[in-house]
Structure 1
Amino acid sequence: MATTPKPTGAWAAHAALSQQLAVEDALREQLSAIGLAIAVVADGEIHRHDHPDAKRGNKRVWYVCHHDFAVWGDWGTGEQHNVFAKGPHDPEKAERARQEAERRKRERRLAQARKHAQAAAQAQEELHRLPHADPQHPYLVKKDIKPFSLRQRGPDLVAFLTDGHGVVGYQTISPSGEKRFLAGTAKQGAYWPLGHVGDCIAVCEGVGTAIAIHMAYGRAVAAAMDCGNLKPVCLSLRERHPTVPIIVMCDNDYHRPDNPGVTHGIEAADAVGGQAIWPAEWADMPGGMDYADLWVKGLLL
């Protein structure tokens, strides 16, 4: 049987360009299906974008596009997909795509590990150098809380985070309450600890809430920094404290249809056989309610 000759010269260039455009179109179509409308660049380099359903700056979605195939995925879920121009399945291209995705994954893990190590080293050095926080810091005064182990760098409070074994980074809190993480901090499963473990451990989101809970009840508290980290923190604590009851004291985000504070809090508590509780809805607090708010109102009893 005669084989179809491969195009050469200008025809080959046209065929290659047509294939590249087809791959780009197929990739755009798949990314559009998750709500991500972007211009695809077929340069063989890795490109990162925010996931439409997550907070800004997450850069979870990635893709690598070549002229004859593309690979994309979500680092938040671990999923990945191969993209080819429409036509017969090509096992060789599929294998190239798989190898490309694995190589990019290894590169990202190594780069991430280096950033985590650098952040941990910087945080450990600053922990021994920074002074204890001023009790009259505007954020503390507004929340009516004490600084406890918080440190201070310039105008910002500094909350050092641990993974249960050592310092891994920190979060800064400005006088107005703006929060930022040290670049490279390994946030998943890391928390700001307060108090000594006794008959139970409370887990919450923010530093201010953790201090309010500790001042009201004297409990050991772990501030997970955000609702998405509640479950990893609870799992970490359960591993090291297998018999201690864990209470997740959720933010009540009733101003949002999905109420992430309560939703993630229940999931975290269920994962460790714990309990999830949250404040009631308040008409004069349209932006949600947490235990720090109750403390300021004098109602955290």
Structure 2
Amino acid sequence: MKNNGLKRSDYQVLGLYFILSVIVIVVNNTYGGHSIGKIVLGPLPYLVTTIPLVGIFYLWLIPKYIVKSQNYILFFILTITSLIVFGYLYLSLLYWMEYISIKNYPLFPNAILKSLDAAVDGVGLPLGILLAKKHFENEILIGNLRELQKKNEDELSQAQVNSELLFKNLDLFKSIKQTVFSKKRDYKKRFVIKKTTGLLLLDSSNLSVVEAMGDSCKLIDVEGKVHLFSQNISKVLETLDPKDFFRINRSQIINIDHIVNIENHFKNRLLLQMKGVSEKMMTSSSKTSDFRLWLEEH
């Protein structure tokens, strides 16, 4: 039992005990026919000897020699010595206050036995109360710790179950994500263009620029040939691979493989020279920063 000194509750218990003891001593002396002075001062020898003796045992002897070092022989010697000293002090105070006749005052070796008897009688009950109180407090504390440990173990077990479910769901999500993204989207490899003489196949790789033209658009190839296409520019953009094609403004899409030159322009814009196109293309202010990032990534 580790002793950390007297607590507030210990003082309250001891205070109540000694108050009751004083009342008992006063009542006993009253019925014994003692004078008022002796009745009032009657508890003094008991309090002067018992309180320090309880403190010595509870705060020093038991913690140091029983709990810490477990030196039982030294504890026994110091216990006997303390009991004799304080017991003899108690008897001396009683003699001084004339509660004991000089004729009945014990002499050696009876003085030692009387001192031991008086000290044990005085210190036994309050010390026993303190030790019992400490024991039951420790038992309650141990019980609370066990309940807390069980609660923590249950929470830890639940947390482990939740973490396992989380990782399973995470693995499932990764699997689904991998499945979804592993299926590479099939972008348009060629355009089928209607001509008066028949159909023309234009490979996407040979497409340099797409320009909006109302609800349709113009496809300009690397040779500078212009082909009309019946879909609008937004629909065409959805069919093109974003790694190769970028919409630089509202009305133009360019192919990164056919950029001839890039120049800086005012208001954070860029001028692009495209293969097959004589006029330079200009990025919009809102698209320029994204276009720069796209160039670096692709």
- TM-score bin (small chain): under 0.3
Q: Whose helix proportion is higher, 1 or 2? A: 2
Which structure has the bigger radius of gyration? 2
Q: TM-score, normalised by structure 2?
A: 0.22
